[in-house]
């Protein structure tokens, strides 16, 4: 199916049983595989950017995360990742950023915080947040369940 087919038949798909959920999944898959927008052949290849990030992380003394992979594991099930457009590359978030970085700010500063209990179980629902002072967050008063 092409993007033009989607546009032409959008109302048919939307009214089909479970159509909206299927459309959402299809659009998400098109987006993460780079087929939702035109690709610029002049863009820098992802592997060059990832190498540059690795050099900066090494200079800063940041330990890198896992290895690149075209498969990933979710709950002990191996998942084949979609084919990517030319110039794109799969990598792990830990290879390009800091996960749970340490913040050095005063304990009495108020900050937004999202405890696990406020993250919705259904995709697309609003993620709620709380405001709390950093001291409470750093003492891990909020349970994660």
> 144 and 118 in one domain?
yes
Predicted TM-score of the model (pTM): 0.47
pLDDT digits (tens, 9 = 90+) for 59-92: 877 665 554 444 555 555 677 777 788 888 888 8
CA-CA distance, 89 to 43, in Å (whole number)? 13
> 82 and 106 in one domain?
no
Predicted confidence at residue 48, as pLDDT, reads: 93
> 139 and 119 in one domain?
yes
104: exposed, middle or buried (Cβ count in 10 Å: 0-12, 13-18, 19+): exposed
Give the Cα-Cα-Cα angle 40, 46, 51 (nearest 5 degrees): 145
> 145 and 107 in one domain?
yes
The domain containing residue 144 runs over which residues? 102-145
pLDDT digits (tens, 9 = 90+) for 94-137: 788 776 666 677 888 888 888 888 888 887 788 888 888 877 76
Q: How many domains does the chain have?
A: 3
> 107 and 126 in one domain?
yes
> 113 and 128 in one domain?
yes
For the chain, what is the mean pLDDT? Answer: 77
pLDDT digits (tens, 9 = 90+) for 25-69: 888 888 888 888 888 888 899 999 999 988 888 887 766 555 444
> 118 and 96 in one domain?
no
């Amino acid at each position: 199916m092409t993007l033009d087919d989607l546009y032409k038949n959008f109302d048919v798909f939307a009214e089909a049983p479970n159509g909206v959920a299927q459309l959402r999944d299809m659009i998400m898959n098109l987006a993460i595989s780079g087929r939702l927008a035109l690709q610029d052949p002049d863009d820098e290849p992802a592997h060059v950017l990832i190498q540059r990030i690795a050099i900066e992380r090494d200079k800063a003394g940041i330990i890198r995360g896992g290895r690149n992979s075209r498969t990933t594991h979710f709950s002990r099930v191996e998942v084949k990742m979609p084919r990517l457009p030319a110039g794109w590359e799969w990598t792990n978030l830990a290879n390009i950023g800091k996960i749970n970085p340490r913040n050095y700010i005063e304990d009495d500063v108020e900050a937004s915080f999202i405890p696990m209990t406020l993250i919705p179980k259904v995709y697309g629902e609003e993620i709620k947040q709380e405001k709390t002072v950093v001291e409470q967050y750093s003492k891990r008063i909020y349970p994660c369940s």
